Amino acid sequence: MPRANRVQPDGGFLAVPQRGQFTGNRGILHDAAGDMGRARWKHRSWITCTIRPRPGRPALPMAAPGHYTPLFFLDEAVACAAGHRPCAECRNPAYKAFKAAWVQAFGGAPSARDIDAALHATRIDPATRNQRRYLHSAPDLPTGAFILLEGQPHLICDGSALPYGPAGYAAPRPLPRTDVTVLTPAPLIAVMQAGWRPVIAAQHDRPGW
């Protein structure tokens, strides 16, 4: 049986067999039996990691006792909507490009911890501990942003809105010219507007990894 560790753009967790293109880490979220508990994070370093095997790294732990809970995402745009940033270790080039865009957007010389703190303040509503959402003009949002249309997550991609599903994206629909509910945390929107672009799965992609 698949575990409920496939993260969705709206912050939810699903139990589906497909892992997607990226994995991630928020700490140990499972119990001794390997089942997901109520916690949805144990630290503020929400990172997006490569799913590919790397020299010196063991196979991904599948909710083994004492190991972090592996989370999975269709693509990096979904990971961003959920509040994750590139891992500075296993995806160092992506992290450096992300950090350069962050500096362009906000200035300063932030550490990874500074970035994580800024993200955590904008991705979580402290009253509900759920995803923080806000309104923004749809035409002004960059490729890679996630919005809600008719209650369903949609990815903005090259001026269109792609309906999201756990198996991939459906055919594009016109992007509204009005304000929309945004799922992607505001700092990540600013980083995308500064030139950084998350990895996006191909339309109709159905990863079966």
Flag whether 208 is in a domain.
Answer: no
- Report pLDDT digits (tens) over 62-109: 656 678 899 999 999 999 999 999 999 999 999 999 999 999 999 999
For 36, which DSSP code? B
Report which of 9, 68, 58 is spatially closest to residue 36, judged by C-alpha positions: 68
> What is the rounded distance in angstroms from the CA atom of residue 16 to the CA atom of residue 151?
21
Flag whether 206 is in a domain.
Answer: no
Flag whether 1 is in a domain.
Answer: no
Flag whether 200 is in a domain.
Answer: no
Domain total of the chain: 1
Flag whether 203 is in a domain.
Answer: no
Is pLDDT above 60 for 205? Answer: no
- Report pLDDT digits (tens) over 7-19: 999 999 999 988 8
Flag whether 186 is in a domain.
Answer: yes
Flag whether 112 is in a domain.
Answer: yes
Counted residue by residue, the chain has a size of 209
Report which of 17, 140, 175, 164 is spatially closest to residue 77, judged by C-alpha positions: 164
Residue 52 — very low, low, confident or very high, per pLDDT cuts 50/70/90? confident
The domain of 140 spans 6-193
- Report pLDDT digits (tens) over 125-149: 989 989 999 999 999 999 999 999 9
Flag whether 151 is in a domain.
Answer: yes
